[in-house]
Amino acid sequence: MARHWRAGAAGLAVLGLTLTACGGAKVGDSSEAGGSGSSGKCGTFNLAVNPWVGYEADAAVVAYVAEHDLKCKVTKKDLKEEIAWQGFGTGEVDAILENWGHEDLKKKYITQQKTAVEAGSTGNKGVIGWFVPPWMVKKYPDITDWKNLNKYASLFKTSESGDKGQLLDGDPSYVTNDEALVKNLKLNFKVVQGGSETSLIQSFRQAEQKKTPFIGYFYSPQWFFSEVPLVRVDLPKYTAGCDADPAKVACDYPDYDLDKIVSAKFAKSGSPAYDLVKKFNWTNDDQNVVAKYIAVDKMTPDAAAKKWVDANRAKVDAWLK
C-alpha cells in the first residue's frame, strides 16, 4: 500500500503496545526471532502483516511455503507499517514483505540504527494516485486532468466535506501526500479518511453501480481493478525530489519498486526462511490472484496460498533453490 507510500503514524506508540496479531500473537510477545534457528534449521519466523489485502497475499504465500516446505513455525503479526519496523531491533519482527518506499524509515533503521537490511524486490510495481469511477470519465472526459477538478468540486460535496469536494483516503497509516496536494494545488477539496481498504473499495464500487460522483486515493497492485477499471487523475508529473518536503508536495506520487526489509539479525541467522524471503519474487498479477481469493472468494489465507502454490510449483521451487 504506500508511506513515503504509506507513511506510518509515528505517534501511534512504541512496539510494546498490546496490538493483536494473527494467531492471537501480540506485539510485545517474547517469542524469539527466526534467527533462533541455526545450521539451516528454521525455528520461529516472525512475519509482519500490514493492513492491505495485497500484502496479506504476500504473507499468505510466504508463510505457507515456510511452513510446508521449510517446516518453520510462522507467527504472523498484524501491524501498521512504521510499528512493524520498530520490531526489527527487538527480534519481534523478522521480515516486512512489501515496503512502499519509506526512505525515512530506511534511513532510521538501516543506516542509523543498523537493525534492518534490504532483501531485494518483490517483483511488484506499486502505483498510488487519485482515481474516479469509469462512468465519470465517460460523462466528464476532462475530469482526469487535475486542473479541472475545481470545476467539478461541487459534485463531490458530502456531509463530511462541507462546502468543498470530498477526496476519500484510506487507512490513516497509509502513505499519503493528499493533504499537502490539496493545499498546494489550491483545490477546493477536503481530504476525508475512509478508514480502511475495504471501505475505499466499497465506496468506489457503489459509485460505479449507482453513478454517483466519487474521487479517492487508491493504488495498484490491487485485485479490484479487474472488477471496476478505475481511472487515474493526472496530477502534476512526478520528478525526482519533488516530494522531498512533505509540506510543499505539489506533484504526483512516484512509481514504487516494492521491496522486502528484514532484521539484520535474521539476515545473519542462517535460517532458510531468510533465503525464502530474499528469493521471493512474483508479479502484480500473481498477487492479485491470491488477493482476490482472500477478499472476494473469502478463502482463508492458507487455503488461498495453497491453491496458488499448487498451480505455480515451478515458481515456488525457484525460491527454494
Tens of pLDDT, residues 183-227: 999 999 999 988 788 999 999 999 999 999 999 999 999 999 999
Given 225, 248, 271, the domain boundary residue is 248
pLDDT at position 40 is 53
How many Å apart are CA 66 and CA 97, to the nearest integer? 13
Handedness of CA 243, 247, 253, 255 (dihedral sign): positive
Answer whether residue 157 is part of any domain: yes
Could you tell me if 84 and 133 lie in one domain? no
Q: Return the CATH number at 196.
A: 3.40.190.100
Could you tell me if 154 and 230 lie in one domain? yes
Could you tell me if 175 and 210 lie in one domain? yes
| Domain encompassing residue 294 | 20-124+259-320
- H/E stretch holding 309 reads helix 301-311
pLDDT at position 171 is 80
Cis peptide before 221 (omega within 30 of 0): yes
How many Å apart are CA 16 and CA 13, to the nearest integer? 8
Answer whether residue 254 is part of any domain: no
| Angle, helix 272-279 to helix 313-320, in steps of 10 degrees | 130
Task: Collapse the DSSP code of 191 into the 3-class scheme (helix H, G, I; strand E, B; otherwise coil) and give the result.
Answer: strand
Given 207, 226, 248, the domain boundary residue is 248
Could you tell me if 72 and 108 lie in one domain? yes
Answer whether residue 69 is part of any domain: yes
| DSSP conformation class of 67 | H
Answer whether residue 11 is part of any domain: no
Could you tell me if 265 and 188 lie in one domain? no
Could you tell me if 117 and 266 lie in one domain? yes
Task: Collapse the DSSP code of 172 into the 3-class scheme (helix H, G, I; strand E, B; otherwise coil) and give the result.
Answer: coil
Asked whether residue 76 carries a pLDDT value surpassing 90, the answer given is: yes
How many Å apart are CA 126 and CA 6, to the nearest integer? 11
Given 248, 274, 303, the domain boundary residue is 248
Q: Are 121 and 62 in contact (CB under 8 A)?
A: no
Beta pairing class for 231-232 and 44-49 = unpaired
How many Å apart are CA 190 and CA 68, to the nearest integer? 48
Question: In the structure grid, which three cell numbers stand for residue 98, read together?
Answer: 512489501
Residues 6+ apart with CB under 8 A from 11: none
Could you tell me if 197 and 94 lie in one domain? no
Answer whether residue 8 is part of any domain: no
How many Å apart are CA 42 and CA 23, to the nearest integer? 19
pLDDT exceeding 90 applies to what percent of the chain? 79
Q: Which of 5-19, 205-219, 252-266 bottoms out in mean pLDDT, i.e. has the lowest?
A: 5-19
Question: What is the tens place of the pLDDT at every residue in 160-173?
Answer: 999 999 999 988 87
Question: What total of structural domains would you count in the chain?
Answer: 2
Answer whether residue 12 is part of any domain: no
Average pLDDT of the chain, as a whole number: 88
Asked whether residue 181 carries a pLDDT value surpassing 50, the answer given is: yes
Could you tell me if 220 and 139 lie in one domain? yes
Question: What is the tens place of the pLDDT at every residue in 145-157?
Answer: 999 999 999 999 9
Asked whether residue 29 carries a pLDDT value surpassing 80, the answer given is: no
Could you tell me if 146 and 241 lie in one domain? yes
Answer whether residue 6 is part of any domain: no
Question: In the structure grid, which three cell numbers stand for residue 225, read together?
Answer: 481493478
Answer whether residue 10 is part of any domain: no
Task: Collapse the DSSP code of 214 into the 3-class scheme (helix H, G, I; strand E, B; otherwise coil) and give the result.
Answer: coil
CA dihedral 254, 238, 148, 211 (to 10 degrees): -10
Could you tell me if 143 and 196 lie in one domain? yes
pLDDT at position 172 is 80
Q: Return the CATH number at 115.
A: 3.40.190.10
Could you tell me if 137 and 226 lie in one domain? yes
Handedness of CA 80, 78, 54, 59 (dihedral sign): positive
Could you tell me if 196 and 280 lie in one domain? no
